[in-house]
Amino acid sequence: MSKFAFVFPGQGSQSVGMLDAWGDHPVVAQTLQEASDALGEDIGALIKNGPKEDLALTTNTQPVMLVAGVAAWRVWQAEGGAAPAAVAGHSLGEYSALVASGVLTLAQAAPLVRLRAAAMQEAVPVGTGAMAAVLGLPADKVREVCAAVTAQLGGAEVVEAVNFNDPGQTVIAGSKAAVEAASAAVKEAGAKRALPLPVSAPFHSSLMKPAAEKLKLALEALELGVPQIPVVNNIDVAVQTEAAAIRDALYRQAFGPVRWVECVQAMKARGITHLVECGPGKVLAGMTKRIDADLVGVALFDPATLAEVKELLA
């Protein structure tokens, strides 16, 4: 069997009806019920019916993406899928990876990510923060431009490189004025495009520090399990096994960059040849191929892709 890892997507891959293809699979139904009980609302109805605008609210997006990733993972297990050599998640997806690894239960993780989302939204009022995807400019150059723009604006406004998604795509975040200035500056520096992202807060920037402090308190109150599968984290590109170190990494991840290119490279260094995106969409599968053409990136989000992945890895 090929050596493989499971990776879990974050915000942006959600869609109304994204679990419909699983039909009435009992594992999916049970997962939805667990999450609904933990959150005190019918999360399955929200996913099935939307509306899209409600699903796009950060306080809803984070729990529904967690649940969708965990549901696909549990179906894989229930259908006899082998254990991966490692797991990881992009941004919010790290919480799905921690559930898959046994560090968090779904009942712990669902309220935790909702708290995380609410704290992030409260940290920066809607309309005052922004994010943009910079295409076609090396990450180091994007970092340089962000530092220069922040210095020019005198520190009152801030913009930072926060998501290193693939060699040609780096996401920037910060205060609205600084992101707009940096978007113009990266184009002058040779970027093909700087696309504003439809998000409600500048995720993973230092402006999220107040949110991280609230998250830290919630994490300290949780008893974490011992990882049963290595989890490559976003903030340090490291595998932690001690509860205190895992808590600290999640705390810093809230206001630190998602080092996805390095996470994928770290998994390859472990001898992994296939990355299976577990949950809605194919965003991470596409990134995998752009990060390293030698790696195989595939998606698992319905019964048909489940069968394809099983055959591919056999």
What domains does the chain contain, in order, with CATH numbers?
4-122+207-313 (3.40.366.10), 129-200 (3.30.70.250)
3-state secondary structure string, 44-73? HHHHHHCCHHHHCCHHHHHHHHHHHHHHHH
Note the pLDDT of residue 20. 97
Mean pLDDT of 16-43: 97
Note the pLDDT of residue 198. 87
Higher pLDDT, 150 or 155: 150
Is 155's pLDDT higher than 80? no
Torsion on CA atoms 227, 230, 232, 235, rounded to nearest 10: 30
Is 310's pLDDT higher than 80? yes
Is 1's pLDDT higher than 80? no
HSE-CB of 172 using CA atoms within 13 angstroms: 36
Note the pLDDT of residue 154. 86
Percent of the chain whose pLDDT exceeds 90:
95
pLDDT tens for each residue of 204-249? 999 999 999 999 999 999 999 999 999 999 999 999 999 999 999 9
Is 126's pLDDT higher than 90? no
Q: Which of 208, 237, 244, 260 is nearest to 8 (CA)?
A: 260
Is-contact 115 215, C-beta < 8 A?
yes
Note the pLDDT of residue 235. 98
Is 94's pLDDT higher than 90? yes
Catalytic residues: 91, 204
Q: Band of the pLDDT at 283, cuts 50, 70, 90?
A: very high
175-179, 198-202, 266-270, 280-284: segment of lowest average pLDDT: 198-202
Q: Band of the pLDDT at 200, cuts 50, 70, 90?
A: confident
Mean pLDDT of 102-118: 98
Note the pLDDT of residue 240. 98
3-state class (DSSP) for residue 139: helix
Is-contact 281 68, C-beta < 8 A?
no
Distance CA 142, CA 287 (A): 18
Note the pLDDT of residue 91. 97
Say which residue the tokens 């609410």 belong to: 118
Mean pLDDT of 279-290: 96
63 CB-contact burial (10 Å; exposed 0-12 / middle 13-18 / buried 19+):
buried
HSE-CB of 45 using CA atoms within 13 angstroms: 5
Note the pLDDT of residue 221. 96
Higher pLDDT, 1 or 157: 157
16-20, 74-78, 196-200, 268-272: segment of lowest average pLDDT: 196-200
